[in-house]
A and B are shown apart, each in its own frame.
Chain A
Amino acid sequence: MANIVVCYKWVLDEQDIKVNPGNLALDTSRAKSKISDYDRNAIEEAVLLNEKDGHKVTGLTFGVAGAKQSLKDALSRGPAEAVWVNDPVAAEADAFVTANVLAGALKKVGNYDVIICGEGAADTYAQQVGPRLAAVLGIPAITFVNQMSIEGDKVVATRKLGDCTETVTASFPVVVTVLPEINKPRIPSLKQVLGASKKPVTEIKLADLGLNPDDLKRKTTVKSLKGYAMTRKNVIYKDGSTAEKVAKLVAELAKEGAL
């Protein structure tokens, strides 16, 4: 039996974020939060491994006070317990800080054999936390994984790398980052949702991890964060018959030299 820790991030749902067309400012005031999409694949994979061979699955997140809401959601997806590092630093954290904090939490919690992360977070999509975390812990990371299994005290995983696939085998402890194609996360049942509130949650304060202040300072300075300016012609043919609309489009495309 392996101790599987699955890391997830509680992020704003980008579908609720509005861009002000004038100054391109982001309006997040009405945005709800969610477990980052690919982290749901990570949770599902941990739970599938448990269902197959019997392992212990723990969810781990580093988040601000609002991330408390994520715990029930995460636990309803199958992990036996959850650990939450609660600190406002999470709001400004980059992957350097997050990896340091998650490594600190893992050391404090103690037992970890397999750590599973999603390939990238839905907000930043920086694709760094998994491999950085492995480097901080001094253990191997297997990234871009679309298939994995646990065999004894080893992970055997298939990576998908643009032009090839390869199989990587590593002994515990090991970090694995998973691609969304690895599985299809289940929708928790009512019973699982109700059961989630009975599962144990450990809340850790950042100060208890004994990290150096430098480990908690992000590396780059954010100069601005603005909506992407769409500068397209937006000529939309709505009225008229299909033949008319098609004729207008073909004429324009011919003029553009796009045919």
Chain B
Amino acid sequence: MAGIWVYSEDVALVKQLLTIGREVAGTLNKPVAALTLSEADAADLAAETVYVLKGQNPWPESYVQAIADLAAKEAPDVIFVGATPRGKDLAAKLASILKAGLVTEAFKVSVENGAIETERMMYGGLAVCTEILQGLSLVTIPPRQYEPAAAGKGNVVTIDAATDVPVSVSNVCPIIREGADLASAEKVICVGRGLGKEDDLKIARDLAAAVGGEVGCTRSIAEDYHWLPAETYIGLSGVKVKPVLYLSMGVSGQVQHVAGIRDSKIIVGIDMNENALIFEAADYGIVGDLYDVVPALTEAIKQAK
């Protein structure tokens, strides 16, 4: 059965992938199949076929060979994989076993003249590369790019999966996050190296409190200074945010950082250097010393509310 396949180890993401999967399948007049690792999750997925991969190993990466075997047999046209770290790892190995192409983190998938096209970032977010898929291909798609598809009912097929892998996995620990999840925050206040010392994070926290938002940072703040945890840096290799308001202070706006804020509704930059790149990426900006501007802004916002 050729068609469009979707897979993620996270069922919430499977549902999001079904939205784009159904759209592409509709245009190409193909069936959709969903792959999941959990029987419990299979019941309400809106796909013609739902494959449940059942194996002994709880490590999602160990299912790659079983998925490859199934794909070799059923010959899908394309496999959409959720771009979590585990999903990207599995997709790359799967593409290699199947000798298939793989587009990483496509932000747009469409059908043009009967072929699937993808768009993704290049050069740290400076450029967009549009590719036409040829033959069996994989595409990884970031979480929350699509709304989840409505529930549906498919033909559930259970596959016995061999999951032997020559590695052992131990010490699985959740990462404890302080504060709310930046990726879903409505307001994000971002600090960069313009901040002189760690104590001055208070300036950002006060503004965040005034607007009801979360504090994030650039990679330099997390990885060079260690003032905030690595989970709070925003950008290409960090968190991607999509708030109503993103406001930065002392952030130069290098392309790799801006790649993580582009889905924000309103972008505001505050920087001393009027030529800072952040102003090219911003809707509004103030050229000035953050130590003057931000406390004044916090007060003005409190007044306005």
Contact = CB atoms under 8 A, between A and B. Distances in A.
A27 B35 CA distance: 43
Contact of A246 (B88, B266, B296): B296
Contacts of B132: 220-221, 223
Given A132-B93, A143-B89, A164-B173, A253 B237 contact: no
Interface in A72-102: 94-96, 99
B127 A227 contact: yes
Most chain B CB neighbours (cut-off 10 Å) among A14, A221, A236: A236
B282 A140 contact: no
A259 B304 contact: yes
B63 interface: no
Contacts, number: 238
Contact of A242 (B265, B268, B288, B304): B288
A181 B283 CA distance: 32
A236 B282 CA distance: 8
A163 B174 contact: yes
Most chain A CB neighbours (cut-off 10 Å) among B93, B168, B223: B93
A184 B244 CA distance: 34
A123 interface: yes
Interface string A128-152: 1011101110001111100000000
B96 A132 contact: yes
Contacts of B157: none
Contact of B85 (A94, A144, A225, A256): A144
B126 interface: yes
Contacts of A124: 104, 122
A198 interface: no
A111 interface: no
A234 B280 contact: yes
Given A222-B130, A223-B132, A232 B283 contact: yes
Contacts of A226: 127-128, 130
What secondary structure prevails in chain B residues at the interface with A?
mixed
B127 A19 contact: yes
Q: How large is the interface on A (under 10, 10 to 19, 20 to 34, 35 or more residues)?
A: 35 or more
A197 interface: no
B293 interface: yes
A6 to B, nearest CB: 19
A162 B144 CA distance: 14
A230 B95 contact: no
Contacts of B125: 228
Contacts of A246: 286, 293, 296-297, 300
A10 to B, nearest CB: 15
A120 interface: yes
Contacts of A252: 284
B292 A235 contact: no
A19 B255 CA distance: 12
Interface in B242-291: 244-245, 254-255, 262, 265-268, 274, 279-288
Given A169-B168, A254-B304, A119 B89 contact: no
Contacts of A224: 128-130
Contacts of B103: 220
Nearest to A174: B167
B164 to A, nearest CB: 12
Given A180-B219, A257-B244, 9 more contacts: A96-B101, A126-B104, A132-B95, A164-B172, A165-B171, A228-B128, A242-B288, A242-B293, A249-B297
Interface of A: 12, 14-15, 17, 19, 26, 94-96, 99, 119-120, 122-128, 130-132, 134-136, 140-144, 158-171, 179-181, 184, 218-228, 230, 232-238, 242-243, 245-247, 249-250, 252-254, 256-259
24 contacts: A17-B126, A122-B124, A131-B92, A132-B93, A141-B89, A143-B88, A166-B169, A166-B171, A167-B170, A169-B168, A170-B168, A179-B237, A219-B135, A220-B131, A221-B132, A227-B126, A228-B125, A236-B274, A236-B285, A237-B287, A246-B296, A254-B304, A256-B265, A259-B211
Interface of B: 84-86, 88-89, 92-93, 95-97, 99-104, 117-118, 121-135, 137, 165-175, 187, 211, 219, 223-224, 230, 236-237, 244-245, 254-255, 262, 265-268, 274, 279-288, 292-293, 296-297, 300-301, 304-305
Q: Which 7 A-B pairs have the closest CB atoms?
A: A219-B101, A135-B96, A131-B92, A14-B123, A220-B131, A132-B96, A236-B285
